């Protein structure tokens, strides 16, 4: 019997109905479908509309979907981890709100903020609880209402982001499957290139911070792009090497969806053909914490037990990392 590991045993997702197209964006700022498709690869993104609606509303729907698909009662859940950069409130944790909304009562829950690597950090953390042997069912939900912090007068950032949520169930396994290897990194010096200037304890909200539009995403696109391309490719290749995986052995790359050019560069370095790369950036844009579970949910009907997957991420922090896992179940009919 091999060491206890954590396996993904189910996936759920939710995206809001409203579709913001490149054509509609082109009426809001000086941009075009052609520029956005060539430089980023996004055609449209989802936006959560409605007074009083936040990240937890999408996340709760994704978790509900996961519970239904896996025929799990909320009472069986031991831990719920929410990864987000757009929490409902500064405190309490959005994970607590989600647990309340879906009826999870015999558990504990908390948030993780690791930029666009949040979901990978969440999987890493959740898997440690499973591997301890003490916890049997852990939910990791990645969700972001990016439209709450996007400046729709800034053409350099507003085409990139969208809203969405996705969730996975982690359970223990003794089989040769589940999460085999993971590596995560941080370089806090990178924070100067990508952050939200005001609203935290350093610069609490004032009329001045609002007038200066400091509650929106600040990004130096080219600097972030350079780091993202090299770090995401390096860490993915390293994950292949240390697990003796060739491009033939790998079934799927599950890359964070920030820019099609970053995804293509990572796949090229791994010598992977395009058919093995999960891509849905054209439909949803960069949903930050939701990109990875949205991909897993969309590809779930095609994933087979034993498939070799590498998840790779890069995001604000800077944070980045890669995970090697063997898919643990066949498609359900
Ligand atoms: O997930 C979190 C991590 N984030 C990322 O990974 C994002 C990384 N960065 C990027 O994906 C890219 O840098 C961007 C998509 C943000 C920008 O693409 P770029 O190819 O680096 O463009 P750029 O910033 O070098 O701008 C090129 C030109 C500029 O015009 P000039 O100075 O050459 O005349 C911009 O003003 O494109 C202009 N531009 C636009 N034009 C039309 C910038 N945004 C737009 C726009 N529409 N929306």
Q: What is the pLDDT of residues 23-58, one digit of tens each?
A: 999 999 999 999 999 999 999 999 999 999 999 999
208 assigned to some structural domain: yes
pLDDT at residue 229 greater than cutoff 60: yes
Residue 105 belongs to some domain of the structure: yes
284 has pLDDT over 70: yes
Inform me whether the pLDDT recorded for 162 exceeds 80: yes
Cβ of 110 less than 6 Å from ligand 1:
no
Is 331 inside any structural domain?
no
List active site positions: 116, 256, 286
Residue 271 CA to residue 1 CA, distance in Å, equals 34
Does 146 lie in the same domain as 290?
no
Residue in this structure with the two tokens 């087979």, named with its chain if needed? 304
Does the pLDDT value for residue 242 go beyond 90? yes
Q: Which residues contact 36 (CB under 8 A, 6 or more apart)?
A: 22, 25, 42, 43, 159
- Which residue from 39, 85, 286, 313 has its CB within 8 A of the most atoms of ligand 1, so it is best to mutate? 39
Reading the block at residue 35, the tokens are: 């520029």
Q: How far apart are CA 221 and CA 194, in angstroms?
A: 8
The residue-averaged pLDDT of 199-220 equals 97
- Which tens digit of pLDDT belongs to each residue from 146-158? 999 999 999 999 9
Assigned domain for 251 exists: yes
Output the pLDDT for position 1.
Answer: 57
Average pLDDT over residues 207-214: 97
Q: CA torsion sign, 130 to 117 to 232 to 42?
A: positive
- Co-location of 136 and 55 in the same domain: yes
259 Cβ inside 6 Å of ligand 1: yes
* Domain final residue, candidates 141, 161, 177: 177
Pairing of strands 163-173, 5-14: antiparallel
User: pTM for the full model?
Assistant: 0.97
pLDDT at residue 296 tops 70 = yes
Range of the domain at 101: 5-177
Residue 125 domain-assigned (yes or no): yes
Asked if the structure places residue 333 within a domain, the reply is no
> What is the rounded average pLDDT of the residues 210-225?
97
Tell me: do 215 and 315 sit in the same domain.
yes
Are both 127 and 172 inside the same structural domain?
A: yes
pLDDT above 90: residue 13: yes
pLDDT mean over 266-272: 97
CATH number, residue 145: 3.40.47.10
Domain's final residue, options 177, 192, 214: 177
Q: What total number of domains does the chain contain?
A: 2
Kindly state whether residues 254 and 216 are assigned to the same domain.
yes
Residue 332's pLDDT is 83
- Stretch 275-286: mean pLDDT: 98
Average pLDDT, the chain: 97
Q: How far is the CA of 221 from the centre of ligand 1 (A)?
A: 6
In a domain, 203, yes or no: yes
Cα–Cα–Cα angle for 304, 306, 310, rounded to 5 degrees: 95
What distance in angstroms lies between residue 43's CA and the mean position of ligand 1's atoms?
16
Task: Show the tokens assigned to 206.
Answer: 């004032």
Taken in order 287, 290, 291, 296, the sign of the CA dihedral is: negative
Note whether 130 and 147 are within 8 A (CB): no
Give strand pairing partners of 7: 171
- Please indicate whether residue 170, judged by its CB atom, sits closer than 6 Å to ligand 1: no
Domain end point (choices 133, 162, 177): 177
- Is pLDDT of 64 > 60? yes
- What are the Cα distances from residue 206, in Å, to 1, 198, 201, 242? 59, 9, 12, 50
Is 249's pLDDT higher than 60?
yes
If asked whether residues 239 and 157 sit together in one domain, one would say no
pLDDT value, residue 333: 61
**How far, in Å, from the CA of 76 to the mean position of ligand 1?**
46
- Verify that 140 and 251 share a domain, yes or no: no
Instruction: Output the CA torsion sign for 80, 285, 205, 317.
Output: positive
Q: Is 292 in the pocket of ligand 1 (CB under 6 A)?
A: no
Ligand 1 atom having least distance to the Cα of 224: 8
Nearest CA to ligand 1 atom 25: 222
Residue 178: phi and psi, rounded to 5, are 85, -160
**pLDDT tens-digit profile of 76-107?**
999 999 999 999 999 999 999 999 999 999 99
Residues 98 and 89: beta-carbon distance below 8 Å: no
- Classify residue 155: in a domain, yes or no: yes
Does residue 328 carry a pLDDT above 80?
Answer: yes
- 100 and 198 share one domain: no
Query: Do residue 193 and residue 69 come from a single domain?
Result: no
Are both 232 and 87 inside the same structural domain? Answer: no
Question: Are 25 and 155 in a shared domain?
Answer: yes
Determine if ligand 1 sits within 6 Å of the CB of residue 320. no
Q: Are residues 218 and 249 in the same domain?
A: yes
Confidence of residue 2 (pLDDT cuts 50, 70, 90): confident
């Amino acid at each position: 019997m091999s060491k206890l590991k954590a396996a993904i045993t189910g996936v759920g997702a939710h995206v809001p109905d409203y579709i913001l197209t490149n054509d509609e964006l082109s009426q809001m700022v000086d941009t075009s479908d052609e520029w956005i498709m060539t430089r980023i690869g996004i055609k449209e993104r989802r936006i959560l509309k409605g007074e009083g609606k936040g990240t937890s509303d999408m996340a709760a729907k994704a978790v509900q979907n996961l519970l239904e698909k896996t025929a799990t009662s909320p009472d069986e859940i031991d831990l719920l981890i929410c990864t987000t950069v757009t929490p409902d409130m500064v405190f309490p944790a959005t994970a607590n709100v989600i647990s309340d909304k879906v009826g999870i009562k015999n558990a504990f829950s908390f948030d993780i903020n690791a930029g666009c690597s949040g979901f990978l950090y969440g999987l890493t953390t959740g898997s440690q609880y499973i591997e301890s042997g003490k916890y049997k069912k852990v939910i990791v939900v990645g969700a972001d209402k990016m439209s709450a912090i996007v400046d729709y007068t800034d053409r350099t950032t507003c085409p990139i982001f969208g809203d969405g949520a996705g969730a996975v169930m982690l359970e223990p396994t003794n089989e040769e499957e589940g999460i085999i290897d993971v590596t995560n990194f941080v370089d806090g010096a990178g924070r100067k290139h990508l952050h939200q200037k005001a609203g935290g304890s350093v610069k609490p909200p004032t009329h001045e911070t609002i007038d200066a539009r400091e509650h929106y995403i600040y990004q130096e696109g080219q600097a972030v792009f350079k780091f993202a391309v090299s770090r995401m490719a390096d860490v993915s290749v390293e994950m292949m090497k240390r697990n003796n995986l060739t491009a033939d052995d790998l079934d799927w790359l599950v890359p964070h969806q920030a820019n099609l050019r970053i995804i293509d560069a990572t796949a090229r370095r791994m010598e992977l053909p395009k058919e093995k790369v999960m891509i849905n950036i054209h439909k949803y844009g960069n949903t930050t914490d939701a990109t990875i579970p949205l991909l897993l949910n969309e590809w779930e009907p095609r994933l087979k037990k034993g498939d070799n997957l590498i998840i790779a991420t890069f995001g604000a922090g800077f944070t980045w990392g890669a995970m090697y896992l063997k898919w643990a179940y066949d498609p359900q009919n």
